[in-house]
Each structure stands twice: as structure tokens, then as C-alpha cells.
């Protein structure tokens, strides 16, 4: 028997937390960010209403998941507390992965991501990807971009910067337009947990072809 979203309340609650953040979270005074937030929440609301099937994905861990508990503890102390608790209830069901054919040795123990909604599931969608990325303390995530995919990050726990331009606190939303080069650096003593949303053509979401950029200098 195929399980559907409505059969698994914890997945529904997590998606509702995403929807609330993209509805009520910071717009940053930016028309581009407001437009992105609206698109994410409208697509997500339609997905929740459609009660999509849940795909069976085997839970997989990576070395950086050793920092997950600390990241959740930090998240429960700030404005992302409800979001952190909703994610914590699903921690044993998450599929952590790298997404790259080759991952630098220096990054193998310091980074991983998990998709919670998208073409691969567990909540099936061809129009939107939602997930989380976890970084160990003192990590530099190399410069990269996403062809045809617009991306936003929601900061859950830990301090981090993008392209060395600012330090973002929990609750911050950062938008990266398609093909926009970006590099992430985390704080020295605590892990960093980010939620993300990807919007783009279904064929790009199904096969994003993630690669690191040849140069470290942001455009």
C-alpha cells in the first residue's frame, strides 16, 4: 500500500513549518525575495493539498551528522525553535548525501545535505526541492552555482557567511539567483544548519548536475 503525506503527520508538520517561514519570514525589503518566497509557498501549498505519495528512501548517515544533535540544540534556543523540533522528530528517517561525483577530502567529514521534498522524495515533487544542509564548525563550502535553479537558504543554527559579505544569524533568508556564484564559510566553534529551497524547471531539479566552480573568487 502506498503511503501518502497525510499518513505521516511528522512530514506534514515539517512542511507546514517551511510554509510558515516562507509566508511570515523576513522579506528583507526586497521585491526579488518577496517574489521568491511567494513562489515557494504557493508551490508548497499545492503539494500539501495534493497529498503526494511518500517514496521509500533508506536512511543514510555521513560523518558530519555527528554534529546534528548540537545543531538542533542551538536551533531550539532561537527563533527557529519550532522548525528545529519538527526536524528533530524525523532525524532517524533522513537520507544524508553529498550530491557531487567527487567531494574534496577536506569536505567529506564536514558537510552533507538531505532532501525532504523533491524528485527523489521522500515527499515526491517535480516542481520544488526542500532540504537541509549541515556543516561542521570551521568549514568552507567551495564556490559553486546552480544552473537554472533559484535557491534560498534559511538559517536555522550557527553563524555563517556567504562570499565573505556578512554574518547571518538564525532566521535569516538569503536568495541566490540561478547561476549566481556563492561560497559558504561557517563559524569556528559551532556547527551550522541551513534549510534550503530550490525552484527551477523539473528537468533541472531532477538532475541538477552539481559541480564546484573552478575559481574561488565570487562574481
pLDDT digits (tens, 9 = 90+) for 151-204: 999 999 999 998 888 899 999 999 988 877 878 999 999 999 999 999 999 999
3-state DSSP: the chain helix, strand, coil percent, rounded to 5?
30, 25, 40
Q: What pLDDT is attached to residue 2?
A: 85
| Residue partners of 103: CB distance under 8 A and separation at least 6 | 111
How deeply is 205 buried, as exposed, middle or buried, from its count of CB atoms within 10 A (0-12, 13-18, 19+)?
Answer: buried
75-130 per-position pLDDT tens digit:
999 999 999 999 999 999 999 999 877 888 889 999 999 999 999 999 999 999 99
83-88, long-range: CB within 8 Å, 24+ apart, which pairs? 83/17, 83/18, 83/21, 83/154, 83/156, 83/195, 84/156, 84/157, 86/10, 86/13, 86/14, 86/16, 86/17, 87/14, 87/132, 87/156
Q: How confident is the model at residue 215 (pLDDT cuts 50, 70, 90)?
A: low
Global pTM reads 0.92
Amino acid at each position: 500500500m502506498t503511503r501518502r503525506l497525510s499518513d505521516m503527520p511528522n512530514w506534514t508538520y515539517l512542511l507546514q513549518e517551511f510554509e510558515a517561514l516562507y509566508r511570515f519570514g523576513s522579506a528583507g525589503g526586497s521585491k526579488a525575495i518577496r517574489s521568491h518566497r511567494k513562489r515557494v509557498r504557493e508551490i508548497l501549498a499545492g503539494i500539501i493539498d495534493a497529498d503526494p505519495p511518500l517514496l521509500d528512501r533508506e536512511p543514510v548517515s555521513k560523518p558530519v551528522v555527528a554534529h546534528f544533535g548540537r545543531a538542533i540544540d542551538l536551533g531550539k534556543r532561537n527563533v527557529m525553535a519550532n522548525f528545529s523540533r519538527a526536524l528533530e522528530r524525523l532525524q532517524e528517517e533522513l537520507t544524508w548525501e553529498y550530491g557531487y561525483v567527487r567531494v574534496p577530502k577536506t569536505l567529506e567529514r564536514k558537510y552533507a545535505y538531505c532532501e525532504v521534498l523533491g524528485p527523489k522524495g521522500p515527499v515526491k515533487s517535480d516542481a520544488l526541492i526542500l532540504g537541509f544542509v549541515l556543516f561542521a564548525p570551521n568549514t568552507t563550502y567551495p564556490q559553486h552555482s546552480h544552473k537554472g535553479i533559484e535557491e534560498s537558504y534559511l538559517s536555522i543554527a550557527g553563524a555563517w557567511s556567504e562570499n565573505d559579505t556578512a554574518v547571518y544569524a538564525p532566521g535569516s533568508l538569503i536568495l541566490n539567483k540561478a547561476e549566481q556564484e556563492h561560497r559558504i564559510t561557517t563559524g569556528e566553534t559551532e556547527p551550522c544548519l541551513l534549510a534550503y529551497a530550490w525552484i527551477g524547471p523539473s528537468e533541472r531539479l531532477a538532475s541538477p548536475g552539481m559541480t564546484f566552480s573552478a575559481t574561488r573568487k565570487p562574481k
